[in-house]
Amino acid sequence: MRRAYTNRGTGSGGQGGFTLMELLVATVIILVGLVAVAQLVPTSVLMNSNNRNDGTALVFAQHQMEALRAQPLNATTFSDPLGVTCPLGNACNLGDPTQPGTLVGSPVNTGSGSPIIDFSVAPVNGYSFTYLDLRDPIGAGYDVRWSVITSTNGPITTGRRIILGVFRRGMRSTALPVTLDTMVSK
């Protein structure tokens, strides 16, 4: 007795499924997608690292700005016994009341409309220092610079405009310094 076999395929007589060529094309498309995603991982890790660096530079800049703002208006220098906001044994300058309305200290760029400390030139003594964070596992260094415009009424200092820039050294990509600008007055 002979048994008759019937084709239960696609109805047109062929078998169902994918051809070898269709599988190769699908594999190539998936590989291209995986390679593209894999290239995004190092970029995102670098951007995350830079954001962390910018965040820590901003916190340090805020701390430094508060130290500068806390100085009495009649003071022309200050020092820090801990060496955080001014290096140990040094005096940091707070402007020059004999030059009212004049920018004194680190050079400033105003090309973008907002004042930005120029880190492309050499630091100005008394208006800059490098702070090394000993608690940071990589020992990050912060380049801290500021400029002051003093306002006076005769011989009395009535206010100061402080422009402060902090740049974290050792970043693996280009980054802008953090810049803070404030006014202190009576």
Domain that residue 99 falls in: 21-185
Angstrom distance (rounded) from CA 179 to CA 121: 16
Task: Examine residue 153 and state whether it is found in any structural domain, yes or no.
Answer: yes
Q: Tell me how far apart the alpha carbons of residues 67 and 86 are, in angstroms, rounded to a whole number.
A: 9
In a domain? residue 79: yes
Domain count, the chain: 1
pLDDT, averaged per 10 consecutive residues of the chain (186 residues), comes to 57 72 93 90 78 78 92 91 87 92 93 88 93 77 92 92 88 75 90
**Residue 92: what pLDDT?**
93
pLDDT the model gives residue 59: 86
* Dihedral sign from CA coordinates of 124, 127, 129, 133: negative
Asked if residue 156 belongs to a domain, the reply is yes
Q: What pLDDT does 142 receive? A: 87
Domain contains 13: no
Domain assignment present for 72: yes
**pLDDT score, position 40:** 87
Q: What are phi and psi of 31, to 5 degrees?
A: -65, -40
Task: Please tell me the pTM assigned to this model.
Answer: 0.74
- The pLDDT, as a whole number, for residue 183 is 94
d(CA 97, CA 105): 13
Task: Let me know if residue 54 belongs to a domain.
Answer: yes
